[in-house]
Structures are given as structure tokens and as C-alpha cells.
Structure 1
Amino acid sequence: MLTGMLALGALLAAPAEAATAQEVACTWQAKTLPVPAGTVSASVEGTDGRGEFSGQVSDGSVSRIIRWKHGGFTLRDIPAGYERASVNDQNRGGDIVGYASTPGSTDYTSFVLSGSTYRFLPTLEGHRYPRASAINSRGDVVGVVAHLDPYYEVPVLWPAGGNPIAITNTQNLSNPIDIDDDGTVLFGDGSGGPYTWKDGVLTSYALPAGYDDSSPVAISAGKVIASLSAGGRYTGDGFVWDDPRSPRRLERNTGVFAINRSGVVGGQIDTQQIGPPAVWDAAGRPTRLPLPDGASGGRVSVVGDDGRIGGTAGWSTPVAWRCVS
């Protein structure tokens, strides 16, 4: 384990105000997160919503998991037998779900990382390669496992600490990408509006007039976000569903990437190029996020329940944003 302590002031050191504070006027600050010497790329992929971010760093050959908190960082050892480890999501308890692979990604598996302990996820009988996408606050994990001959992927739910359960559905959806705290699973595939699944029931979400397809991204506290397409062309227009029948467009949004339990959304604004990054408060009001000095673009990855936002500046510089009243 390698630990580095570099000052970031109050950015990660103190608890942030509640996410509902995003509804009042404030000034956003951006800070570059520290990385080990020799890092060539890094990204933020998860947050516990209590001041910690997680992601991965690479020296060009080896990818390792990194956690940022209290102005410093901690690197985690790569699981034995693998040479790369990456983060897909993190929950409020600090548990990380991710995957580990061998060179060339010829073999990979998924895990839950609690503290410094890796717990590898089991697969369905006759299947291989568990690939987890997301974890909720109680520790339920969602993802897929692979059937090899013929090859196809089966969506699965790993209840907290339990064995995988195949998710069967009438639409043949196969790409679960997020899971809400109540166990509702959001799918990232399927034609038309977003689809969710819970306790064997599949729910289809309505599309607004003029749109014909969606690219779902995340679900939190019952709210779903997705970027939409019209006339077979991806427009990137970002929408929020407060319920399955009520989509609402986010003003000036050209792509949504993350949402927290209070309905604060991170995405990009005004252009379909990479960035500029922006945040929409729970009432749908947009604010363009600043970038560190010298950065020409950026992208939001996560929005914590504490209101802090994580992402990247440029292509691979990890950044955290904090709202200061």
C-alpha cells in the first residue's frame, strides 16, 4: 500500500453541506486530486457521498485502485493473480465494486472491495466472467455473467453477500447499468425509453414527444436520467424522470452523466463536444463548472449525496468540485 498526503485545503477534509444546498446560489471551486509519481492517467469513478472519491490510476502498464480523502490518497494492492484493477462504482458505506483482469483482458472477474479486502463475485453455474456495474447502499450488486457457447450475457443481481440471481425480463434486456437503494435495476439497453426491473416486474418509461430512443445512465432515489435520440440521431438532450410517465428536459443540457439522491445532476452544457462540465440543481437550474488552471475541457463522473462532484479535467486529470456559499 502506498499512501500520499498532499494538501487540498478544505476540499476533501471537511463534510460538505447537504446536497439540498445546491438549490441556493453558490460558487463552485475545482481542485485537482493528487496522484502518485509516475501516473500517466487517472479517473474518478465512485464516491461514498461523505467526502471520499475512488477511481483508478495507471503508470502506462498497470492500473490500480485509488481512494482520495482528507487531502490525500491511498493506493490498493492489485488482487493476487491479476495485473489490473478498476473501479465501476462505490456506495455510501465505502464499498467499491470493480473488476480485475490479466494482460490483454483475456481473463477478468469482478469484486467488492471493502477496506483492503477483495471479495470476488460468484457466477451462475455454467457461466464465467462476472462483470459488475453498480452497487447500492445495502451492498446489492448488479451486472452480467457470460455464457460461452454460444456466447451471450445474462443480467444478474448479487444480493448483499449472496449468490447471483438471473434477471429475467420480457424485453430480453441484457445490460443492467445501475441499481437504486431499494433494489430497482436500471437497464442501459432496449429500444424506446428507459426500463427498470424490480422483484420480477419490468417497467417502461415514457419518452417525450419528438424523441424515439434513450441512453439511460443512472437511477437514484427513484429518479432516472438518460440522454435521448430523435429521428435515429443521438442528440444528447438530457432528461430526468421523476416517475415513469414524467420526463423533464434539463435546460441547455447536452448529456447527463450522474445524479445524487437529492436530484442534483452532473453533465455537460451547450455543446456536444467533451464538456464543458456543468451541474443542475434539484430544481433544474444549470451552472457551468469551473476548470483548474490550464485545463481546456472536463467531464463529470459522479455526484455525491454530500453535493461534491468528481470527474476529470482534460482527458485524464482527476478533479473534485465543491460548492462554496
Structure 2
Amino acid sequence: MNKMWARSGVLATVAIAVAALAAGPAQAARLGWRPTVLPLPAGADAAGHGYLTASNGRGEYTGSFIVGGKLQVVSWRGGKPVLRGVPDGFEWAMAEDENGAGTVVGTAIDYDTSAVRSFVLDAAGFHLRETPAGYKEAQTTAVNARGDVVGQVFDEDPARNGAIVWPADGSTPVIIPATHEYEIPLDIDDDGTVLFSSFKSGLVWKDGVYRELTAPGFQYTSGSAIRNGVVVGSASDGTVAGSRAMRWNSAGVPTVLPGGDGAYALNRAGLTFGTAPVPGSFRGKPVTWFDTTPTGDLRQPGSYSSYQASQVTDDGTFAGVASNGPLDEGGVPVVWRLMT
């Protein structure tokens, strides 16, 4: 997700964060990110009912929101919403990811035929991916900096489901047959490494070889995102209360992220987003780390009672949604920028 190395923005953010943390715990506790609710395009549902899911890492964002009764792709360029629409013949389009070149990937659905197709969206418009022969549909998950796209293919026989990588050079897609129970592709690193979830553990795959994410003392592990070989996710002893946010370095060595029960996104500099448990509630409190050090809070956007980030961009901002209802129904688009 956001694989472009926005060098100046990242270094500035890191410098501010490191300086604050070096000043001691009291100063670190005051570090925070200020929210901005982005404007929706004309005709959009006022409650949002969408998801801000992607960014080029240079201050531009993309997501999918209900506009005119359809879930359509919307991008923010120069702070203003640009309605990108849906592929011809489709009524539903979910943007999943975007790289530094502004290439957006996602999945589209035609309500009349129930057809499901993966798409790429660039300056020239939508481009539908061909579903590989022998499979009934393909869905898209993520894109890396060079333009490799990872997704999932489905067959009438679930035993034949697997992952797919569409190489950026247009060569033949690579099918990765599922060899673990409930194996699902989640992300792709810039070198082509694919991050998977499975029933018992997170997995990283490269050139046909799997490596399991392990965490001593925990029964289950799960990865959420991968950057430069670093994975963030969670580990659990099998109970809700026993879940911990985790970070695995490029050698696979795990570290518990203090105070968190899960980590869900990170950027190239190591800035990470996750949640901390709230007693008596299933809804976690948004928290952040730089590498393994807590760095501060995402402030509440106005009066919205629920809010969550879905990504950390390479220019050091967090992006997600806010709502006064359940977040599983989406919300309004929000960006959090570091308070300096």
C-alpha cells in the first residue's frame, strides 16, 4: 500500500517523532495527530458510507463511497474530491490500494450478473483484469511500488482457491495454490514477497517458499501489512484478552508493541497504526508506534463517536473513516496529520 518513498515527508515526520520521544515519556504522550474530514463529492451520502483505503503517499487519497446510490471510486487531488466512478457495466467498485505512481487497484461487481472482476485504475481510466482460465472470479488486495498486484482467485471447488500475482511487466500471472487452512493473501512487499493469513499463523511467501510468523508464548499469529520485510499484526494465546500487537523485523524476530492488541498498517519509515483494548468494549482505541515505541494518539474527529485508520501513508499521515454508527458500514473520509 503506498509504496512510494516520499523521502522528505517521511524524514521530517520521523525527525519530529524521534525528537519528541527523546525528550521523555511526558513529551511523547503529547504527540498526536490532528484529524481533517475530507469533503465528499456532490451526490454522496452525507453519512459517508464508504472507506478511505489508499494513498499515493504524497498527500493524495483514494477510497470508495456511495454516490448516486452506487459505491464509486473517489480520489482527493489538491484536497478536492474527484469522482472516478465505476468500470462500465458495473455498479459497485471497491478501491483497495494505491501506489506512489497513483495506480489504484480494486474489485468491481455487476449487480445484474453477479460478475466479479479485478480492476486497475490510472490516469487513462479503468482497466479490467482477465480472470485466469479455470477460475470463476478474482479479487484484488494490494499493489506494490513497481506495480505488481496481488489478489485471490476462486473456483467452484474451494480446494482450488488460491492467490494470484499480476506482475507489473504484464507477464503471465502467477497462481499460488493454497497449502494452508484458510490461507488468504493480504499484502505484497516491493520485492514481491506476499503476506498471507491462515488459520493458525501469518505467513510470508517469496519465490515459492513460505515462512511462518512465530511468537514464543503465543498460540496464534496474524500479519496485517508488510514493508521492507517488516510485518505488523498480532499474536494471541487463544483468548480475546490474550491478543497483543506485534512487529516482526525482516529476519522474522517478533516484538510486542506496547499497549496494543493489534497492529494493522505501517509505512516505510516504521510508523505503525493499531488499537489498544478498551475495558468492557469490543472497539479498540486507535494508537500509533514508531518502530516499537508508542508515539501518540489519533485525535477524535469532531463529534464522531467512532473512528479508525486503515493505512499509514509514506508522508507520515494516517487515513481512515469516522462515523456516528458502526464502522463496518463505513463513514466519512478522515486524514490525520502530525501536530507540530
Q: Same-fold call, TM > 0.5?
A: yes
Residue in 2 that maps onto 1:12: none
- Provide Cα deviations, 1:172-196, integer angstroms capped at 9, x if missing partner: 663111000010000022423x211
Does 1:319 find its partner at 2:313? Answer: no
After TM superposition, the structure 1 = structure 2 runs for residues 56-135 of structure 1, keeping only pairs within 5 Å, are 56-59=64-67, 61-103=69-111, 106-135=114-143
Contact 1:274 1:298 (8 Å CA) reproduced: no
Instruction: Please report the TM-score for the alignment, with normalisation by the length of structure 2.
Output: 0.84
- What amino acid is aligned across from residue 306 of structure 2 in structure 1? G
Identity level (%): 33
- Aligned match of 2:219 in 209, 212, 216? 212
Does 1:20 find its partner at 2:14? Answer: yes
- What amino acid is aligned across from residue 319 of structure 2 in structure 1? G
Q: Distance in 2 between matches of 1:60 and 1:202?
A: 44
- What amino acid is aligned across from residue 154 of structure 1 in structure 2? G
After TM superposition, the structure 1 = structure 2 runs for residues 204-283 of structure 1, keeping only pairs within 5 Å, are 204-209=212-217, 211-231=218-238, 233=240, 235-271=242-278, 273-283=282-292
- Provide Cα deviations, 1:176-220, integer angstroms capped at 9, x if missing partner: 11000010000022423x2111111111122231x1112321111
Contact 2:90 2:108 (8 Å CA) reproduced: yes
Secondary structure of the 2:186 match is: strand
Q: Distance in 1 between matches of 2:229 and 2:147?
A: 17
- Aligned match of 2:167 in 153, 156, 159? 159
Contact 1:205 1:244 (8 Å CA) reproduced: no
Of 285-294 and 132-141, more deviation after overlay is shown by 285-294
Contact 1:110 1:131 (8 Å CA) reproduced: yes
Q: CA shift at 1:66, angstroms?
A: 0.7
Residue in 2 that maps onto 1:11: none
After TM superposition, the structure 1 = structure 2 runs for residues 143-182 of structure 1, keeping only pairs within 5 Å, are 143-149=151-157, 152-160=160-168, 161-168=170-177, 170-171=179-180, 174-182=183-191
Secondary structure of the 1:113 match is: strand
Unaligned segments of structure 2, at least 5 residues: 1-7, 21-30
Alpha carbons of 1:208 and 1:317: their partners in 2 closer, same or farther (altered >3 Å)? farther
Residue in 1 that maps onto 2:306: 297
Q: CA shift at 1:234, angstroms?
A: 6.9
Does 1:36 find its partner at 2:51? Answer: no
Q: Distance in 1 between matches of 2:32 and 2:223?
A: 29
Aligned residues: 309
Contact 1:213 1:232 (8 Å CA) reproduced: no
- What amino acid is aligned across from residue 319 of structure 1 in structure 2? V
Alpha carbons of 1:114 and 1:162: their partners in 2 closer, same or farther (altered >3 Å)? farther
Secondary structure of the 2:224 match is: strand
Q: CA shift at 1:283, angstroms?
A: 4.2
- Higher-helix-fraction structure: 2
Q: CA shift at 1:16, angstroms?
A: 4.1
Q: Distance in 2 between matches of 1:115 and 1:29?
A: 31
Of 287-296 and 131-140, more deviation after overlay is shown by 287-296
Alpha carbons of 1:215 and 1:283: their partners in 2 closer, same or farther (altered >3 Å)? closer
Residue in 2 that maps onto 1:189: 198
